[in-house]
Amino acid sequence: MKDVIVIGAGMAGLICAQQLKQAGLDVTIVEKSLGLGGRMATRRLQGTWVDHGAQLIAAKSDNFARFIRKLQEKGIVQEWTRNVYQLSNSGLVPPTDDKRHPRYCCPMGMTAIAKHLINEIPVLTNTRIVSVSHTETKWQLKTTRQEILETSAIVSTIPAPQFLPIFEEVLATAPSFLQAVQSVKFAPSVTVMAGYSTTNDIPLEWQAVQCVDDPILNWISYDSSKHPDKADQPVFVFQSTAEFAKQSMEEPDLELAGKPLLNQVGRLLSKWLANPEWWQVHRWRYALVEESLGVSCLSTAIPLSLVCAGDWCAGKNIEAAYQSGIAAAESAIELLRN
C-alpha cells in the first residue's frame, strides 16, 4: 500500500509528488494520458516542437522565481520575451512599461519541465481511475484495467469536473468539501498549430500577442521563436476565446472547429496567415478555470485523507499550479500525521 497516490501529472501533481518523496513518503503518480505535463503540452510536428497548451511562464513570487532560475541553470527554461502585444480591430499596441517583464519558455517544449520533475518518482501513465472506495484505513482506486490501487492518502490534481464523477459518492459525508469542488467551472479552448512558408516576413511584434475583445481569437504566438535553431519553417499557435470554443465543442470535425481561427488571424494581421502549408487542431475541454477558488488547496480527513489541488484552486496559470502543488504536499503530510 502507498502512503500517497497523486492523480494527475501536470505541474501541481508533479511538484506535490516531488515534495512528498523528499519528505520520505512512498508516492506514486497516476496519469490518464500517455504523456506527462497536463496542459504544459507539447506536440512533435514536422520535425519541431509546438506548445499547444500553456504558452509561457511568468514568475511573480520569490519561491517560483527560484524554481525557474534552477530550470534556467539546467537549460530547461529560457527567457522568451518581455513584450506581449495587444491586438484589437485598431491594430497592435505595445505593452506599457509596467507590463514588460520576463516571460519564459522551454526550447524543447513545455513538457521538458514535466520530464525533469518526474525524476525517479513512480508514474503509471495511460491509467485512468474509474471508481474510488475505501475501508476504515485505506483508499481503494479502481483503474480501467480493473487493477485496485491502495493508499493512505490521495492528492487529486485533475480538473474539478473530472474529479467529481469519481469522488462525488464517497464524499457525501464531507458536504462542504464537495460543495466547494462543485462550484468550480472550467472554460474550453480550441488551439490551432500551423506551419507556413519560409518566404513570409514575420514582424517581431507577432512573437506573443494577446487579443482584446475579439469574439474568436484570444492568443497568437510565433512558436518557432522559442527554438529558432530547431524549426525548419515558421510555426504559429492560435488559441480561441472560451466563448468561441463553447460553440464548437460538439463539432466532430476538428478542422471545421479550427478554420475560423485561421480566417480571423488572416483578417487581423495578414492574409497569408489564413492559409498555412499544414495545420492541426487540439480542443481543450478544461483549458482554464473561469473563477478559481482562491485557496491554495482543499483538504479533508472525511472519510479519509484527501487533498484537491491545481491551478483551479490558486489561480489560472503554471505558477498557481506550482503553489497549489506545494501546499497540497504540506496538507497531505499534515493529514497523515494526524
List the CATH code of the domain at 2-36+118-183+292-337: 3.50.50.60
- Lowest-pLDDT choice from 35-39, 83-87, 103-107, 291-295: 291-295
Q: How many residues does the chain have?
A: 338
Residue 160: predicted pLDDT: 95
CA distance 221 to 99: 17
- In the numeric block, which cell numbers belong to residue 36? 506527462
Q: Where are the alpha helices (DSSP H) in 90-170?
A: 111-117, 160-167
Residue type, position 132, single letter: V
Position 337 scores a pLDDT of 92
CA dist 128 and 201 (Å) reads 45
Q: Is the pLDDT of residue 291 over 90?
A: no
| Residue 104 zone, left/alpha/beta (φ > 0; ψ -120 to 50; rest) | beta
| Helices and strands (DSSP H and E) totals, the chain | 9, 19
Q: Does residue 230 register a pLDDT over 90?
A: no
pLDDT tens across 124-149, in order? 999 999 999 999 999 999 999 899 99
Q: How confident is the model at residue 292 (pLDDT cuts 50, 70, 90)?
A: confident
The domain locations on the chain are 2-36+118-183+292-337, 44-109+186-289
Question: What are 239-255's pLDDT values in tens digits?
Answer: 999 999 999 888 999 99
Calculate mean pLDDT across residues 67-85: 97
Instruction: Give tens-digit pLDDT for 8-31.
Output: 999 999 999 999 999 999 999 999
Q: What share of the chain is helix, strand, coil (3-state, %, to 5)?
A: 35, 30, 35
The residues that bridge with 211 in the sheet, in sequence order, are 87
The yes or no reply on domain 44-109+186-289 and CATH 3.40.30.10 is no
